[in-house]
Amino acid sequence: MKTLTQPKMNLDPSLSLLDWVHQQLPILFAPSPHPAVGDGVDHRRWEEALLAPMNDILSRPGKAIRARLVEAGYALVRPGQNPPAAAPALVEILHAGSLIVDDIEDDSKLRRGGRTVHRVHGMPKALNAGNWMYFLAVRQIEELPISAEAKLKLYRMANQTMLDCHRGQALDLSLRVGDVPQSEVPTVVAETSLLKTGALTALACGLGVLIAGGSERQMAAMESFGRELGLALQQLDDLGNLTGKGPPSKRHEDLRNGRLTWPWAWAAELLDPSAYRALERAASPLSVSGLGGRPNPLPLADTLLRLAGAHRRHFIVRRLRSLLDELSGLFTASDEIGRLRDQIRTLEESYV
């Protein structure tokens, strides 16, 4: 029986995310150590069966929010330096894989300017590729030049993040407006956001500090900031979905799908039971399609925006800037805090 030899590779950190992954293919697709396999499966078979969906999603431009957070965390400890390419690749591959799976679960039509991956490549291949990318993301830890102790810690962080994200996704998929008593809505919405969105932004921020050799206190502060950032971005995204200013396919998508979002949490806190039940009744027809089409979501969207208040966006942004000020006391690289503040401001402006 032949033995499996892992190729020695010098990965180029300057490459794009997709090219970075492709450098690893000799390792990822090394043939099984069995004589029946011979020289292995023709690479074209892997391309058709698994790589095409991955190539598709990774080649589409995204905001790369999480990669920027890894870079920011690293630079706060090591000013002016960039992290090893495997670090931002970890969170971006993980996020991209989750997009494929999310789109299948939501039966979405569009993603990053094109048809969703499962509509292009078929649901079975897309689902398998999305799940495979979770493990591909975690494998990036092996490419990081850090101690065995730090790698173990990062493996645990990544595993906990995926457990949390899947719990958050379970709530998001299972509960709809009207399913949850008014008193529980704020808790459910907050927990969903912290698990589904906040967990991954916390990983990105903490990862950068960890591999840069930051202190436990610095890492805890950045993870906490990342969690709050994820929460704030979800709140801004939920508000933006009500304005109807996004792509046509995404306008009022949350209302049409009956999702429990932050505007519903704020309404639950402000309204008396009778008024809240009336709001639920107004939402019910939006998620039911018939021959006559769905009702206009604008009146409900306007009501929820009014309840959220014109001040809400400003409050969220001020909270983020206050957290950045707190970080500046733990990191001496004031210039890097300024750059992080600029990145956050750009993010804030992208959620309309």
The CATH number for 275's domain is 1.10.600.10
Closest-CA residue to 254 (of 317, 332, 188, 175): 175
- 322 in any annotated domain: yes
Name the pLDDT band for 224 (thresholds 50, 70, 90): very high
Q: In which band, very low, low, confident or very high, does the pLDDT at 253 lie, cut at 50, 70 and 90? A: confident
pLDDT for 293 = 63
For residue 140, pLDDT beyond 90 = yes
Give 81's contacts (C-beta < 8 A, 6+ positions apart): 74, 75, 212
| Amino acid present at 2 | K
What pTM value is reported for the model? Answer: 0.90
pLDDT reported for residue 7:
43
pLDDT-derived band at 5 (thresholds 50, 70, 90) equals: very low
Q: How confident is the model at residue 243 (pLDDT cuts 50, 70, 90)?
A: confident
Residue 115 dihedral angles phi and psi, to the nearest 5°: -65, 145
Name the domain count of the chain.
Answer: 1
In this prediction, residue 13 carries a pLDDT of 64
Q: Does the pLDDT of residue 291 top 50, yes or no?
A: no
Whether 191 shows a pLDDT value over 90: the answer reads yes
Mean pLDDT of 50-58: 96
Q: Is residue 7 part of a domain?
A: no
1 is a domain residue: no
Quick one: what percent of the chain has pLDDT higher than 70?
Answer: 91
173 CB-side CA count, 13 A: 14
- Cα dist. 319→222, 265, 316, 328 in Å? 15, 18, 5, 15
CA atoms within 13 A on the CB side of 120: 18
Q: Is residue 2 part of a domain?
A: no
Residue 12: inside a domain: no
When comparing pLDDT for 98 and 113, which is higher? 98
Q: What pLDDT is attached to residue 8? A: 46
Q: Is residue 11 part of a domain?
A: no
Please compute the mean of the pLDDT values over residues 131-140 and round it to a whole number. 98
Full domain range(s) for residue 126: 17-282+297-350
pLDDT tops 80 at residue 294: no
Average pLDDT (261-290) is: 92
The pLDDT, as a whole number, for residue 10 is 57
Residue 267 pLDDT exceeds 60: yes
- Residue 290 resides in a domain: no
Position 346 scores a pLDDT of: 82
What's the gap between Cα 309 and its chain centre?
27
Q: Which of 2-6, 196-200, 258-262 has the lowest mean pLDDT?
A: 2-6
Whether pLDDT at 78 is above 60: yes
Instruction: Give the DSSP per-residue string, 151-219.
Output: HHHHHHHHHHHHHHHHHHHHHHHH-BTTTS-GGGHHHHHHHHHIIIIIHHHHHHHHHHHHHHT--HHHH
Q: How confident is the model at residue 216 (pLDDT cuts 50, 70, 90)?
A: very high
**What integer is the mean pLDDT of 211-234?**
95
Does residue 287 form part of some domain? no
